[in-house]
């Protein structure tokens, strides 16, 4: 491949601001996922432009996201995120993330998979491209990515219903992926959320929700302490839009 500019790896610095904090003056998993979404989309746009992919109807939507944090960054703290694509081997595009603090110590890792999606047809499509044109990095994945099947929530211990609002949707006109993580967490009791922090998620995005839809967020305890299994379903409870596993630590 004739590479003019090596853009296989990108990095960006982020700061935790006051409006990023929860009522415990803590940053959140959702904030970290927003940071990763920003650098991932920014880098993806550079890569697709460099590869000559110009179909405005095609976007890449997440199918899985796994994030594991050693700790959450503090208020005012600056963190650096590095991101890169693994070599493309099938229909899934694998993106990696490494988070480090100002001393250079790694404080978290993430990995996601995405597929091409037609905005017009609202369905996944096969993207006809030469993978060699896309700049990737042959580097150890940030996290193992077998992406095993997530546990179905058959009997919910906690459940809430939500209506998709205007500001829940993103530029692709469906619910933003980070909103699903928030909605999964919000099914848990207030006292639990107040006394625990979310340190790991593994989430499977199975179908989209759109403005005006009503969805149900369900959660059930896993066999391990601090672990919950989640599902977000349509209003009838017959279709899982999202499944997620969450791992929590006491504050």
**Measured distance CA(177)–CA(170) in Å, rounded:** 9
* pLDDT at 1 > cutoff 50: no
**Measured distance CA(235)–CA(162) in Å, rounded:** 9
Neighbour tally for 117: CB within 10 Å: 21
Bridge partners, residue 97, by sequence: 83, 110
**Measured distance CA(219)–CA(189) in Å, rounded:** 10
Q: Are 134 and 229 in contact (CB under 8 A)?
A: no
Q: Which is nearest to 113 in space by CA: 156, 66, 151?
A: 66
Tell me which architecture the domain covering 158-250 has in CATH: Roll (3.10)
| Residue-level pLDDT at 125 | 67
**Measured distance CA(200)–CA(120) in Å, rounded:** 34
Bridge partners, residue 59, by sequence: 117
What is the DSSP secondary structure assignment for residue 227, as one 8-state letter?
E
Q: With 0-12 CB in 10 A as exposed, 13-18 as middle and 19+ as buried, what is 104? A: exposed
Confidence of residue 236 (pLDDT cuts 50, 70, 90): very high
* pLDDT at 5 > cutoff 80: no
Neighbour tally for 29: CB within 10 Å: 22
**Measured distance CA(50)–CA(134) in Å, rounded:** 8
* pLDDT at 2 > cutoff 70: no
Q: What is the pLDDT of residues 163-183, one digit of tens each?
A: 999 999 999 899 999 999 999
**Measured distance CA(130)–CA(147) in Å, rounded:** 25
End-to-end C-alpha distance for the chain, whole angstroms: 49
- Fold match between domain 9-133 and domain 158-250: yes
Q: What is the pLDDT of residues 45-55, one digit of tens each?
A: 898 888 887 76
Q: Which is nearest to 94 in space by CA: 109, 110, 113?
A: 113
Mean pLDDT of 15-23: 98
Between these two residues, 119 and 14, which has the higher pLDDT value?
14
| Residue-level pLDDT at 133 | 81
What CATH number matches the domain at 9-133, 3.40.50.2300, 3.10.129.10, 3.40.640.10, 3.30.70.1140?
Answer: 3.10.129.10
Return the domain boundaries, the chain. Answer: 9-133, 158-250
Neighbour tally for 200: CB within 10 Å: 18
Confidence of residue 4 (pLDDT cuts 50, 70, 90): very low
Q: What is the pLDDT of residues 26-35, one digit of tens each?
A: 999 999 999 9
**Measured distance CA(101)–CA(204) in Å, rounded:** 28
Q: Which is nearest to 26 in space by CA: 65, 73, 61?
A: 73
Percentage of residues of the chain with pLDDT beyond 70: 93
Q: Are 208 and 117 in contact (CB under 8 A)?
A: no
| Residue-level pLDDT at 100 | 98
């Amino acid at each position: 491949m004739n590479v003019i500019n090596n853009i296989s790896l990108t990095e960006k610095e982020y700061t935790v601001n006051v409006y990023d904090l929860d009522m415990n003056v803590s940053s959140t998993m959702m904030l970290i996922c927003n940071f990763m979404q920003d650098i991932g989309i920014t880098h993806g746009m550079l890569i697709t432009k460099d590869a000559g992919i110009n179909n405005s109807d095609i976007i890449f939507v997440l199918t899985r996201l796994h994030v594991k944090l050693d700790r959450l960054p503090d208020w005012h703290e600056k963190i650096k995120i590095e991101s890169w694509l693994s070599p493309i081997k099938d229909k899934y595009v694998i993106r990696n993330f490494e988070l480090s603090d100002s001393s250079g110590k790694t404080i978290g890792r993430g990995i996601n998979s995405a597929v091409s999606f037609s905005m017009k047809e609202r369905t996944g499509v096969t993207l006809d491209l030469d993978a060699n044109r896309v700049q990737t990095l042959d580097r150890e994945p940030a996290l193992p990515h077998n992406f095993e099947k997530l546990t179905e929530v058959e009997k919910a211990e906690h459940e809430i219903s939500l209506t998709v609002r205007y500001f829940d949707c993103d530029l692709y006109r469906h619910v933003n992926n980070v909103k699903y993580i928030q909605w999964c967490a919000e099914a848990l009791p207030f006292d639990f959320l107040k006394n625990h922090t979310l340190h790991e998620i593994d989430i499977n995005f199975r179908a989209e929700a759109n403005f005006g839809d009503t969805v149900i967020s369900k959660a059930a305890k896993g066999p391990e302490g601090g672990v919950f299994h989640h599902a977000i379903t349509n209003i009838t409870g017959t279709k899982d839009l999202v499944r997620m596993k969450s791992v929590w630590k006491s504050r």
